[in-house]
């Protein structure tokens, strides 16, 4: 994940585990697709890959623009002034 070269249309979804990653990713995909739902639930992982699990290759092959999910601490996530970042913070007592 540290060696991923960011692109200007990257949208990083950075969260702690079990704090709404999939839910927020689904909302983001619906916004990007103008409310059109995914054809299959498994499309969520192809259209919004986890950077540290699938690697940079999956992120390069996903539809653009689209979210790239990560559980990396924000300071370890690839940084670019042109990319967009959504950071989800949640009270761990609610998880």
* Within a domain: 93: no
The segment with the largest mean pLDDT, out of 2-6, 7-11, 54-58, 77-81, is 7-11
Which of 76, 93, 74, 94 shows the shortest CA–CA distance to 85? 74
Please identify every residue annotated as catalytic: 71
Tens digits of residue pLDDT in 22-35: 899 999 999 998 98
Query: What is the pTM for the complete model shown?
Result: 0.83
CA distance to 30, 45, 91, per residue, from 50 (Å):
18, 8, 22
Domain that holds residue 16: 11-88
Q: Answer whether residue 6 is part of any domain.
A: no
* Domains identified in the chain, total number: 1
- How many Å apart are CA 62 and CA 51, to the nearest integer? 11
């Amino acid at each position: 994940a540290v060696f991923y070269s960011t692109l200007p249309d990257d949208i990083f979804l950075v969260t702690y585990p079990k704090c709404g990653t999939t839910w927020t990713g689904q909302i983001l995909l619906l916004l990007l697709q103008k409310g059109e739902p995914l054809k299959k639930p498994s499309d969520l992982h192809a259209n919004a890959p986890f950077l540290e699990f699938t690697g940079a290759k999956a992120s390069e092959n996903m539809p653009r623009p689209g979210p790239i999910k990560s559980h990396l601490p924000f300071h370890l996530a690839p940084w670019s002034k042109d990319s967009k970042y959504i950071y989800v913070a949640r009270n761990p007592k609610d998880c």
